[in-house]
Amino acid sequence: MQQNITLPVRHDLAPLARLETNWVPPWLIARVAQHGPWHFESGAPMDDSHIIGGASGAFWMAAADGVGSKKKSRFGSAAACLALDTYLGAALSNGADPTRILLIEAFHAAHVAIQQLAAKEKAPADEFATTFAAVIIKGDTIIGATVGDSGIAVGSEHEDEHGQKAFRLAPFCSAPQPNGATYSLTDPNWSQYVASTQSRSPHITTVIVATDGANNYFLKPAASGTSFHPEWAETLEGRLEELGPLTFINAFAHFIQHQTPENYDDRTLLVAYRAPEKHAPPAPQSR
């Protein structure tokens, strides 16, 4: 595994809210990031970070949720995302194949980047604590990994008993958690707590990566804790047909307008939707 990565210096402004779409055939990608009301009203910074990147026909989505009780957690979440982006971009551009091993190596690079940042700042690494969840997607291949309580879910279409098309949501990757606490990527034993999954299925139409503030996009309270609910995700095909690729992001603007964040927390929602061919953006034209 790579031990050292030189991260580029970034001076991005932290958003109050961000909405964006990207296109990597056959996937239409949407990102939603919003400063949580609890942090906003207290003048506290946003602790969530995310990254979406792509190379060699593959793309990745990663979300990190800095632990709110740790003073420097937002710097840890930002470093984790940037390190994963740097590692995967270099590896895939140099001919590596998307695999679970490659994604875990990128998590290792993110862990090391936070450790190096802590050493540079002469601060305990635990002050930079963050959860981390990411996927690599190339065509039908979907690879996910997570440490902590951020979620990865997938949606698929099947025929029900009446022969009608039915949409289902299911967990894709779920990491173990200790009682009353959350594992962090900064933990020296993080590799023992990471969960990873790989799938190759044309039936998966939706991939969701979310910090817990955005859980209500695909989860709802239930007597036994939480349960999946597909109401938002299953409307994506209809909204794409209605809005078209250029204004598809309005479907997610509607979500943040009408759905408050879980626990008034920061929320990051990254969604890859396999667009039906008739709704795909035009192919690039040579000039």
What structural domains and CATH numbers belong to the chain?
17-279 (3.60.40.10)
Q: What is the largest CA-CA distance in the chain?
A: 63
pLDDT tens digit at each of 287 positions of the chain = 445 677 777 788 888 999 999 999 999 999 999 999 988 998 888 999 999 999 999 999 999 999 988 889 999 999 999 999 999 999 999 999 999 999 999 999 999 999 999 999 999 999 999 999 999 999 999 999 999 988 899 999 887 777 778 899 999 988 877 877 789 999 999 999 999 999 998 999 999 999 999 999 999 887 667 789 899 999 999 999 999 999 999 999 999 999 999 888 999 999 999 999 999 998 777 66
Q: How far apart are CA 29 and CA 56, in angstroms?
A: 17
Candidates 193, 74, 181; CA nearest to 128 is 74
CA 140 to mean position of chain CA atoms: 18
Q: How far apart are CA 31 and CA 50, in angstroms?
A: 9
Instruction: Spell out a b/e string for 217-233, using b for 16 or more CB atoms within 10 Å of the CB, else e.
Output: bbbeeeeeeeeebbebb
DSSP class of 104: H
Which residues, 6+ apart, have CB-to-CB distance to 284 below 8 Å?
none
Q: How far apart are CA 181 and CA 148, in angstroms?
A: 9
- What's this model's pTM, rounded to 2 decimal places? 0.94
Residue with tokens 């859980």: 215
Q: Exposed/middle/buried for 178, CB within 10 Å: 0-12, 13-18, 19+? A: exposed
